[in-house]
Amino acid sequence: MKNPSPTRPGLHLLQRRHLLTVLACLPATLRASGFGDAPALRVGVVPQFDSRTTYDIWTPILAALENLSGLRFQLVGSPNIPEFEKRIGQEEFDLAYLNPYQGLVAADNYLPLVRDIATPLQGIAVVHQNSPIQDLAGLQGKTMDFPAPNALAASLMLRAQLDQAGIKVRVRYVKTHTSVYLNVALGQAEAGGGVLQTLEDQPDTVRKQLKVIFRTVGVASHPVIASKHLSRAVREQVRAAFIAMGETSAGRALLLRVPFDRIGRANPDDYLPLKRMGLEKYYVPN
């Protein structure tokens, strides 16, 4: 897949204005430390959305980070979540944005840098707005769409909750959160798993056709992780650039689309509670 340029004409005008404002307000201490001809850092993003949406969200962020950090970044697309996980396992990315359980699986080779420190990650079960189903019990025997086997809150945590309640559903994996919501809105699935943040990013025509009937417990949100092969200095420079972005209104507007409501430092200990949930029963290794 050919990666679009961070300044390609398809970016929305509002995004461009935000980006220009960010670049005009860069801290000189970060701007000054360029890395010359060093190779671009390869960045992977878990494909929660279609590829065009992913590029629209991340290319202006990476462009701003280049100017903040003096580093160069290359956005590397993945066609689906299993392929993304395979590439993480093969250490094809220098940096990646992914779900917390994927981060735990990759912990031997990657370290968390930043995450949203304001809003926990929660899985949700949705049905059509006109559906008579009101709670998990109503899903017994129904067809339920999930993004991918290893989507943390949208699949792993929801499936564990369904099992604990003795509820059996017909499971289908449809690759992205967007596909889950669209299928439920169109009546092609009776229910679906997702997360509140991705539901809120759907167009009104889809979102208004859905209702949330269940929410999981909250856990620390998706991190950006960095390969242990990168030097500590580079890892800290990337972390500092992300946090600097979050200190301007224009930078926060770009990060909110990820979504990062409030970006801050991430640590391995943030994700230890996941180890006690028994989710390995549902995880499918690639």
Superfamily of segment(s) 13-119+220-272: Periplasmic binding protein-like II (3.40.190.10)
* Whole-prediction pTM: 0.77
Point out the least confidently predicted range of 32-41, 218-227, 240-249.
32-41
Distance in angstroms (rounded) separating the CA atoms of residues 67 and 34: 9
CA angle 132/133/139 to nearest 5° reads 145
> What are the tens digits of pLDDT across the range 30-49?
443 444 567 999 999 999 88
The CATH number that domain 123-215 falls under is 3.40.190.10
- On the question of a common fold for 13-119+220-272 and 123-215, the answer reads yes
Q: Where are the domains of the chain?
A: 13-119+220-272, 123-215
Pick the closest to residue 58 from 73, 71, 68 (CA basis).
73
- In this prediction, residues 169-194 reach a mean pLDDT of 96
